[in-house]
Chain A
């Protein structure tokens, strides 16, 4: 018998990520996208309100115009990706809660992801020309 030292680890649990499979990754991503969208929501409200508070109509127009420049269009597309993932996986979660297709959750997950990808691609096709005009 040989022995080897072990990297220190917590007393109770080994690395939890080792247990992750489709459903767990879906859950983790759902959580991360949800938190990011929440952070965005507050940015959204703060940017719009400070634009109006700074000087009403004119500063609002100026701010919104700067928000439709190419860098922000790309940022919008990233936001769309977060929202589409969260929305389509959310539909899957509601299906699960209703007891629909619980035995085929992986298929449902990838089906939903396909729809999300198609939605995002069509959004990109519509929005990207705005960034390059």
Chain B
């Protein structure tokens, strides 16, 4: 294994001591295959314990360590250092876009979660059905499962939210993640939540603000066809939005 030294160019900002953010450059010895997250952990352990970033499982499941690496939002644990070096053999690491940074690579996720809860992201029961008295199965036929299986893979990493240029312009836009979550339940035949979700989906800041730039689909680390789901939501919301009370 050929070891080599690269430079980590990291976005640093401490709200208590720093007036504005600055770049910190750390030399790190890496081997082929090392992910960016490992480099960051080495920096924190060996060079600077004050470096703040979110990370947990290190295997692309928890969705904690999304950050802007070499200009694109990616999972630090799924991105190999040697794949993202620039001409100066630097890895440029910054916090996610479209969310305000709090400290170093940590961003304030509040708007993201607020918007996620806006779409009522749970299975709504038929309001007319009686509460069950015995245990019941709520299985999906396999054919129906295929439609929502990809959309269920979301790990809340916020990469799509960070890459969406519409989110960058309009901070009220629900964003790709909330919309694909809404799709996951809207496409579920057991769900009866459409009237509740329509308020936020059939909304000027809901499905109608999506501009089909496909940034979300292209950047999603789980390969979820987000734009496709949002387009399906639009067609569904058309039947809601054109009717009475659709508004203008």
Interface residues in chain A, defined as those with a beta carbon under 8 Å from any beta carbon in chain B: 1-6, 8-9, 11-14, 16, 18-24, 26-27, 93, 96-97, 99, 102-103, 105-106
B179-207 CB contact bits vs A (8 Å, 1 = yes)?
00000000000000000000000000000
In the complex the two chains form, what is the Cα distance from A105 to B215 in whole Å? Answer: 12
Please tell me which one of the listed residues A1, A24, A27 contacts residue B26 in the complex, with CB atoms under 8 A apart: A1
What 17 new A-B contacts, CB under 8 Å, besides A21-B214, A26-B213, A105-B227? A4-B23, A6-B21, A11-B100, A12-B171, A13-B168, A16-B168, A19-B72, A19-B162, A19-B163, A19-B165, A21-B213, A27-B211, A96-B231, A97-B234, A102-B227, A102-B231, A106-B214
Report the minimum CB–CB distance from A19 to chain B (whole Å): 5
Q: A3-B22, A6-B21 in contact; A14/B213 too (CB < 8 A)?
A: no
Known A2-B24, A2-B25, A21-B218; contact A27-B213, beta-carbon cutoff 8 A: yes
Looking at the assembled complex, report how far the CB atom of B2 sits from the nearest CB atom of chain A, in whole angstroms: 25
**For residue B164, which residues in chain A have a CB less than 8 angstroms away from its CB?**
19
CA distance A99 to B20 in the complex (A): 45
Which residues of chain A come closer than 8 Å to B20, judged between CB atoms? 6, 8
Q: Which of B115-169 contact A (CB under 8 A)?
A: 162-165, 168-169
Q: Pick from B53-61, B75-83, B91-99, B240-248 the stretch touching chain A.
A: B91-99
Q: Nearest chain-B residue to A8 (Cβ)?
A: B20
Distance in angstroms from B246 CB to nearest chain A CB is 17
CA distance A13 to B43 in the complex (A): 25
Query: Can you pick out 5 interface pairs between chain A and chain B where the beta carbons lie within 8 Å of each other?
Result: A12-B98, A18-B72, A21-B213, A23-B213, A26-B213
Does residue B71 face the partner (Cβ distance < 8 Å to A)? yes
A117 to chain B, nearest CB (A): 22
CB of B97 within 8 A of CB of A19, answer yes
Contact A23 B215 (CB under 8 A): yes
A1 and B228 in contact, given A13-B98, A14-B94, A22-B214 (Cβ under 8 angstroms): no
Collect the chain B residues with CB atoms within 8 Å of residue A99's CB: 228, 231-232, 235
B contact set with A: CB distance below 8 Å: 9, 11-12, 20-26, 47-48, 68, 71-73, 94, 97-101, 162-165, 168-169, 171, 211-215, 218, 225, 227-228, 231-232, 234-235
Chain B nearest CB from A114 CB (Å) reads 19
Taking a contact as CB atoms under 8 Å apart, the answer to whether A105 and B235 are in contact is no
Of B48, B68, B73, B227, the contact of A1 (CB 8 Å cutoff): B48
Query: B165 near A3 (CB under 8 angstroms)?
Result: no
Q: In the complex, which residues of chain B have a beta carbon less than 8 angstroms from the beta carbon of A2?
A: 24-25
A103 contact set on B, CB distance < 8 A? 225, 228
**B103 → chain A closest CB, angstroms:** 13
Bound CA–CA A21/B216 (angstroms) = 11
Query: Could you say which of B48, B165, B225 contacts A102, with CB atoms under 8 Å apart?
Result: B225
Cβ–Cβ contact B25 & A4, under 8 A:
yes
Residue numbers in A under 8 Å from B218 (CB-CB): 21, 23
CB distance from A120 to the nearest CB of B (A): 24
What CA separation (Å) do A12 and B94 show in the bound complex?
12
Q: Which residue in chain B gives the minimum CB-CB distance to A9?
A: B21
A23 touches B225 (CB 8 A): no
- What is the bound-complex CA distance between A6 and B164, given in angstroms? 24
Give bound CA distance, A19 to B97, whole Å: 9
Say whether A96 contacts B165, CB under 8 Å: no
List 5 A-B pairs, minimum CB-CB distance, nearest first: A23-B214, A24-B213, A16-B168, A4-B23, A23-B213
Q: Which residues of B contact A9 (CB under 8 A)?
A: 21
